[in-house]
Amino acid sequence: MPFGAHMSISGGVSKAFARGTQVDCEAMQIFSKNERQWNAKPIPPEEVAAFKAEQARTGIGPVIVHDSYLINLAAPADDLWEKSIAAFSHELERCDLLGIPYLVTHPGAHTGSGEDVGLEREAVALNRIFEAGIGGQTVVLLETTAGQGSALGYRFEHLARLFELVPYHDRMAVCVDTCHIFAAGYDIRDAASYAATFAEFDRLVGIERIKCFHLNDSQKGLGSRVDRHNHIGQGCIGLEAFRLLVNDPRFTGIPMIIETPKGEAMDEDRENLSLLRSLVGKASPTV
């Protein structure tokens, strides 16, 4: 599996590759813009060229983009919903410009309208975007969530419903976050629970739709519905789940990205990625 981490784009999107090489990324996730702002300046042609040159130089790939945290395609209020559709369309256009294969997004929050209404609202937005052909071939990855607040996507049934409502299956797949599914109530801490959870995912959604993993331990317990990431093996999930995951032949070739806490020197990224690699081929977890 290609392992990697979320990298800063400070100074320009092309700068992420140098940072990725510092922690031995094989794959990488970035934001294509400031994730806390609605608007962004266009990426200049010279920066697009630098991005592609740096990717060729480093060999890091795939590069995955995560969208802005402000976007809510399930919003019941028309003003926020339309603003979110415009912003998400812009994110897809930026991905297409950079040659990014996947754009990760949380499936929105219903903010009181109810889960069924929220999922339908999300689907209408995605159908509108895909029907217009926005983003070229970039595939939207619906990320599993912890279910904090009114967030959608914390049940596999939510993802299944979106695939029912959105027929553009060539433009949509799934990113599984280990912290999120655990906090949502799906246990993966031993072989039996791991097998049961992914059997349920396969039954409802289809295992073949998983195109990316976010590998994060959880600060909070099973079913807490609190989204707090922790270092690999240092949270409530523990090492065994990650050993099972990185040795699962069904996920060979699927990028596995950490989003664990780190400082400016990124030592934590090196340690977490090294630990994950050490679990590959192991019969039991070792630190």
Give CA angle at 139 (247, 245), nearest 5°: 10
Q: Is 158 a catalytic residue?
A: no
Q: Is 116 a catalytic residue?
A: no
The tens digit of pLDDT for each residue in 26-44 reads: 999 999 999 889 988 999 9
Pairing outcome for strands 210-215 and 172-177: parallel
The tens digit of pLDDT for each residue in 82-101 reads: 999 999 999 999 999 999 99
Confidence of residue 185 (pLDDT cuts 50, 70, 90): very high
Query: What's residue 284's pLDDT?
Result: 61
- One-letter amino acid of 50: A
- Choose, from 67, 177, 240, 269, the residue flagged as catalytic: 177
- Examine the pLDDT at 287 and tell me if it is beyond 70: no
What values do phi and psi take at 173, rounded to 5?
-150, -160
217 marked ligand binding residue: no
227 marked ligand binding residue: yes
Phi-psi label, residue 97: left if phi above 0, alpha if psi -120 to 50, beta otherwise = alpha
User: Mean pLDDT over all residues of the chain?
Assistant: 97
Query: What's residue 282's pLDDT?
Result: 87
Q: Is 214 a catalytic residue?
A: yes
Pairing outcome for strands 3-6 and 217-218: unpaired
Mean pLDDT of 268-284: 94
Q: Is 190 a catalytic residue?
A: no
Treating both helix axes as pointing N-terminal to C-terminal, what angle do 156-165 and 191-204 enclose, rounded to 10 degrees? 20
The tens digit of pLDDT for each residue in 252-267 reads: 999 999 999 999 999 9
Q: How many CB atoms lie within 10 A of CB 82?
A: 12
177 marked ligand binding residue: yes
The tens digit of pLDDT for each residue in 194-237 reads: 999 999 999 999 999 999 999 999 999 999 999 999 999 999 99
Q: How many CB atoms lie within 10 A of CB 132?
A: 10
Distance (Å, whole) CA 148 – CA 107:
12
214 marked ligand binding residue: yes
Distance (Å, whole) CA 180 – CA 177:
5
Confidence of residue 285 (pLDDT cuts 50, 70, 90): very low
In angstroms, the Cα distances linking 97 to 44, 80, 135, 153 are: 10, 25, 8, 28
Q: Which two tokens stand for residue 284?
A: 């039991």
Provide, rounded to the nearest whole percent, the portion of the chain with pLDDT above 70.
99
Q: Which domains does the chain have, with CATH numbers?
A: 3-279 (3.20.20.150)
Treating both helix axes as pointing N-terminal to C-terminal, what angle do 156-165 and 115-131 enclose, rounded to 10 degrees? 40
Helix, strand, coil shares, percent, the chain, to 5: 45, 15, 45
Q: Is 69 a catalytic residue?
A: yes
- Examine the pLDDT at 124 and tell me if it is beyond 70: yes
Q: Is 267 a catalytic residue?
A: no
Distance (Å, whole) CA 68 – CA 95:
13
